[in-house]
């Protein structure tokens, strides 16, 4: 199972980043929905970024967030994921929200996260990070993921 970080979904609506928007559209459009689970944290973050950063109307941001819930399986944070996130924060390893997303994803059975915000190729809390964006479009790892 794969999870997708908020930034990938944000690019779908970000007209100021046309290259990444095109790549995100290709990636999201090609990934089979049954291979993806999305954290409810991402749903909340998406509507927040769309409203605040991209200045979309609240109803547009809310609908984009709802679309994630409808299209993908979802997962939420458990008390044990919160505890692990707090431990990672206290140790200075990760910020709380990244740690919470990764810990929750791991508990939900996700083995990989598509994200541009974490170190590409790293195994973080048992979840492998893949930054799908390359200088010439989707990178080879992202294309292999789509093909599988």
Q: pTM for the full model?
A: 0.91
φ, ψ (nearest 5 deg) of residue 32: -65, 130
Over 80: is that where the pLDDT of 93 sits? yes
- Pick the closest to residue 52 from 119, 6, 97 (CA basis): 6
Domain annotation for the chain: domains and CATH numbers: 2-147 (3.40.50.1010)
Identify the three-state secondary structure at position 115: coil
**DSSP annotation of 35:** G
pLDDT for 135: 75
Looking at beta carbons, which pairs linking 64-68 to residues 24 or more positions away fall under 8 Å? Answer: 64/9, 64/12, 64/13, 68/9, 68/38, 68/42, 68/43
Per-residue pLDDT tens digits for 76-90: 999 999 999 999 999
φ, ψ (nearest 5 deg) of residue 128: -80, 135
Over 80: is that where the pLDDT of 148 sits? no
pLDDT for 121: 87
Q: Report yes or no: 5 and 105 within 8 Å, Cβ to Cβ.
A: no
């Amino acid at each position: 199972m794969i999870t997708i970080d908020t930034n990938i979904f944000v690019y779908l609506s970000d007209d100021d980043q046309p290259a990444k928007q095109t790549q995100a559209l290709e990636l999201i459009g090609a990934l089979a929905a049954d291979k993806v689970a999305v954290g409810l944290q991402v749903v909340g973050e998406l509507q927040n970024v769309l409203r605040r950063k991209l200045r979309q109307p609240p109803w547009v941001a809310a609908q984009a967030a709802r679309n994630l819930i409808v299209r993908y399986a979802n997962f939420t944070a458990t008390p044990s994921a919160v505890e692990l996130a707090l431990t990672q924060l206290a140790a200075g390893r990760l910020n709380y929200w990244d740690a919470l997303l990764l810990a929750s994803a791991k508990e939900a059975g996700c083995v990989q996260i598509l994200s541009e915000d974490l170190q590409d190729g790293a195994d973080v809390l048992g979840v492998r990070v893949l930054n799908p964006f390359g200088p010439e479009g989707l990178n080879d790892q992202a294309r292999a993921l789509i093909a599988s």
